[in-house]
Structure 1
Amino acid sequence: MSILDKVKHMLGGSAKTEELAKQGIDKAERIAKKRLGGKHARHIDTAAQKAREMADKIDEPDTRPPGTTPAPGRATPPGRDDSTSGPGQPGTTPPPYGP
């Protein structure tokens, strides 16, 4: 389940999901700026803008084929195929040690 699906589910999946998500982002942005006293405002603005861009995609249908969602926190670069494991890749067994 993608992060957008989780947000939709948490917010009830209605047509207002996108708007509610953006309201939450705005509130989080205000609180962060207030607590940090203006420090790191540029970084907060950047993070809030990226979150708003993601919120814009909430109501869009997921066009990826089933089973192609990347692992959480890990995006597969374009052109890279992670369907096979090689040496040092997750899911491989190291060679046995000793004689």
Structure 2
Amino acid sequence: MSILDKVKHMLGGGAKTEQLAKQGIDKAEELARRKLGGKHARHIDTAAQKAREMADKINEPDATPPGTTPAPGRATPSGRDDTTPGPGQPGTTPPPYGPG
């Protein structure tokens, strides 16, 4: 499940989801500014802007943003189900060592 799907689920979906998400972003931005006392303001601005862009896409059907991993069970761009481990990933059997 993508983070966007998790937000939709937590906020109950519907028309108010985007609005509630943006309110949460505003509160998080305000808290970060207060806690950091003006330090890292540029990074806070960037993170808040990216989060708002994602909130704008909440009500779009199946809005998996570019560069993110699809939810488990969905096909990846290679066509492979992302729940299947690839070579060298945990859950795979290593090749035998030594002569056959």
* TM-score between the two structures when normalised by the length of structure 1: 0.72
Change in CA separation of 1:63 and 1:52 when aligned onto 2, cut-off 3 Å: closer
What do the CA deviations read for 1:29-65 (whole angstroms, capped 9, x no partner)? 011011000000100110010000000000111167x
Q: Which amino acid aligns with 2:7?
A: V
**Structure 1 residues without counterparts, runs of 5 or longer:** none
**Conserved 8 A contact 2:8-2:58:** yes
**How far has the Cα of 1:4 moved from its partner?**
1.5
What CA distance in whole angstroms lies between the structure 2 residues aligned with 1:63 and 1:6?
Answer: 12
**Aligned-residue offset at 1:82:** 6.4
Q: Which residue of 2 is the match for residue 69 of structure 1?
A: 70
State whether structure 2 residue 11 is matched by structure 1 residue 11. yes
Q: 1-side partners of 2:44 and 2:34: how far apart?
A: 11
How many residue pairs get aligned? The number is 88
Aligned-residue CA RMSD (Å): 2.8
| Unmatched segments (≥5 aa) in structure 2 | none
Match of 1:42 in 2: 42
Q: 1:57 maps to which residue?
A: 57
Does the Cα contact within 8 Å between 2:57 and 2:63 map onto a contact in 1? no
